[in-house]
């Protein structure tokens, strides 16, 4: 699958260190955040630490953890997704950090609030109503609580406290989940944000809540501590949804976030090789880097021959090469690449790619989602 020339390119391009604030990532490969629901009671155990450390030992430079709930009653919708608050959960995360560092990797928690994606009555706090900018679900139906100013302030404070805690526990940065139709993205998207106050209306106004979270997080941590913002156009149940139909509209979102203190943007797409706008080959990460001047992370079906929708429909994902990825990285379209399902299928994916051993790469299928290995 790899010629010797391609193997040499992969080793040269992907193994370069990358500096982000005070962090040096040893290479250009990140593990994408993927919800696993293997943390009973919201507490990550030794198996979770082993799971992440195995990928770090397998060559991944930066681990971005699965989404972890900030300390707000309406933040979550599962009792098996890890929390980022409470002594028991934080002790578990401290063990995860030590294990990843011992394996030679760096690690950031992804801080998460699901907003209107919460199911009423679900754990970890069954009495908390689904909450969002306008109490509107992703399908446009009224389904929950429209957040008050006090609610907004509480959530902003929860993100800031989680970031402060992450730095204290020894994490190497934080990622804020602003993608896929969860709370922060619900404010960014006109489909769920119908507010008429300072947090709604224009695209820039809809970005205000996200920017205030970024600013609060930035203030809570050291100036050199990386703050990554994950964003997407698509939503969980609407793959055609868009925040911005033109680069100019996209800039109305990324400029305030950059000004607020984002260190890098993690730009989630379903297929990383597709152009985001007409008349340019740049993908979303490429456009965000061009507009913001900030480093970017690309993601979307790296190393596999189908996207995640096919996985959940029972299709097996075949292994593909990384030639197109290398082409884009050689021209600095983006700075890091996040790998998801390919790393679930093969914890040593990064090392095998570095060494040109792609004939040894293992495929991925949906059954792997049911185990933590």
Options 52, 182, 199, 272, the catalytic residue: 182
Compute, in degrees rounded to 10, the torsion defined by CA atoms 334, 218, 104, 80. -100
Compute, in degrees rounded to 10, the torsion defined by CA atoms 226, 344, 355, 329. -50
Q: Does the annotation mark 51 as catalytic?
A: no
> How far apart (Å, rounded) are the C-alpha atoms in residues 93 and 85?
10
Say how many CA atoms lie within 13 Å of 247 toward its Cβ: 17
Backbone angles phi, psi at 237, to 5 degrees: -115, 15
* CA 287, 217, 37, 62 torsion-angle sign: positive
Say how many CA atoms lie within 13 Å of 123 toward its Cβ: 12
Judge whether 258 and 211 are in contact, CB under 8 Å: no
> How far apart (Å, rounded) are the C-alpha atoms in residues 302 and 285?
14
> How far apart (Å, rounded) are the C-alpha atoms in residues 99 and 53?
6
Tokens 């199911």: give the residue: 119
What is the widest separation between alpha-carbon atoms in the chain? Answer: 59
Compute, in degrees rounded to 10, the torsion defined by CA atoms 140, 145, 148, 153. -100
- Catalytic residue numbers read 182
């Amino acid at each position: 699958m790899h010629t010797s020339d391609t193997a040499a390119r992969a080793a040269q391009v992907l193994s370069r260190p990358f500096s982000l604030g005070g962090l040096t990532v040893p290479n250009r490969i990140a593990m994408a955040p993927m919800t696993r629901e293997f943390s009973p009671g919201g507490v990550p155990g030794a198996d979770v630490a082993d799971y992440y450390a195995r990928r770090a030992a397998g060559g991944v430079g930066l681990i971005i953890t699965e989404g972890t709930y900030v300390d707000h009653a309406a933040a979550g919708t599962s009792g098996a997704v890890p929390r980022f608050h409470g002594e028991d959960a934080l002790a578990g995360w401290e063990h995860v950090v030590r294990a990843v560092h011992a394996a030679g990797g760096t690690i950031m928690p992804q801080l998460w609030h699901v907003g209107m994606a919460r199911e009423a009555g679900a754990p970890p706090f069954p009495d908390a109503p689904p909450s969002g900018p306008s109490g509107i679900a992703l399908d446009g139906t009224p389904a929950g609580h429209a957040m008050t100013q006090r609610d907004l302030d509480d959530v902003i404070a929860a993100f800031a406290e989680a970031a402060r805690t992450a730095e204290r526990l020894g994490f190497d940065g934080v990622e804020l989940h602003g993608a896929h139709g969860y709370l922060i993205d619900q404010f960014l998207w006109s489909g769920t944000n119908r507010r008429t106050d300072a947090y709604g209306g224009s695209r820039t106004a809809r970005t205000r809540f996200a920017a205030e979270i970024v600013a609060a997080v930035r203030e809570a941590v050291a100036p050199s501590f990386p703050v990554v913002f994950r964003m997407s156009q698509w939503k969980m149940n609407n793959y055609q949804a868009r925040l911005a139909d033109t680069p100019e509209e996209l800039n109305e979102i990324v400029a305030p976030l950059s000004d607020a203190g984002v260190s890098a943007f993690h730009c989630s797409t379903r297929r990383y090789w597709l152009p985001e706008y007409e008349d340019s080959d740049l993908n979303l990460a490429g456009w965000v880097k061009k507009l913001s001047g900030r480093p970017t992370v690309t993601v979307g079906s790296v190393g596999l021959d189908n996207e995640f929708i096919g996985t959940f429909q029972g299709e097996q994902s075949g292994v593909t090469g990384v030639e197109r990825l290398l082409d884009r990285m050689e021209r600095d379209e983006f700075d890091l690449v996040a790998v998801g399902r390919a790393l679930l299928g093969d914890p040593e994916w990064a090392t095998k790619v570095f060494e040109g051993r792609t004939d040894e790469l293992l495929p991925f299928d949906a059954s792997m989602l049911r185990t933590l290995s």
